[in-house]
């Protein structure tokens, strides 16, 4: 959770490369937390790495389909919608 929180702060501070690294570390620790993939997708979008962003969004959706909706943690998507 620490790395995910750091990633969120880095997104807010427009430190997108660092956010990618933090979310990647969070994913290594907990690969079943969809919010980390969504956060990394936001960072990728800001970096105009749309293919990577789409892959992470797809992975987040796959994870969320496997878990009952009451257990899915909400994530505030802050990235551009392009």
* pLDDT of res. 71: 53
pLDDT average, residue stretch 3-18: 96
Give the pLDDT confidence of 47-82 residue by residue, as tens digits.
999 999 999 999 999 999 887 654 545 444 455 544
pLDDT average, residue stretch 7-15: 97
Residue pair 22/37 in contact by the 8 Å Cβ criterion: no
How many Å apart are CA 82 and CA 66, to the nearest integer?
27
Q: In b/e form, how buried is each residue of 50-71, taking b as 16+ CB within 10 angstroms?
A: eebbeebbebbeebbeeeeeee
pTM comes to 0.80
Percentage above 70 pLDDT, the chain: 82
pLDDT average, residue stretch 25-54: 97
Residue pair 47/20 in contact by the 8 Å Cβ criterion: yes
* pLDDT of res. 69: 54
């Amino acid at each position: 959770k620490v790395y995910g929180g750091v990633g969120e702060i880095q997104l807010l501070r427009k430190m997108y490369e660092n956010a990618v690294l933090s979310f990647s570390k969070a994913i290594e620790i907990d690969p079943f937390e969809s919010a980390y993939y969504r956060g990394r997708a936001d960072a990728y979008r800001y970096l105009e790495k749309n293919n990577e962003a789409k892959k992470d969004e797809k992975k987040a959706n796959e994870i969320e389909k496997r878990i009952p909706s009451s257990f899915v943690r909400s994530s505030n998507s802050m990235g551009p919608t392009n």
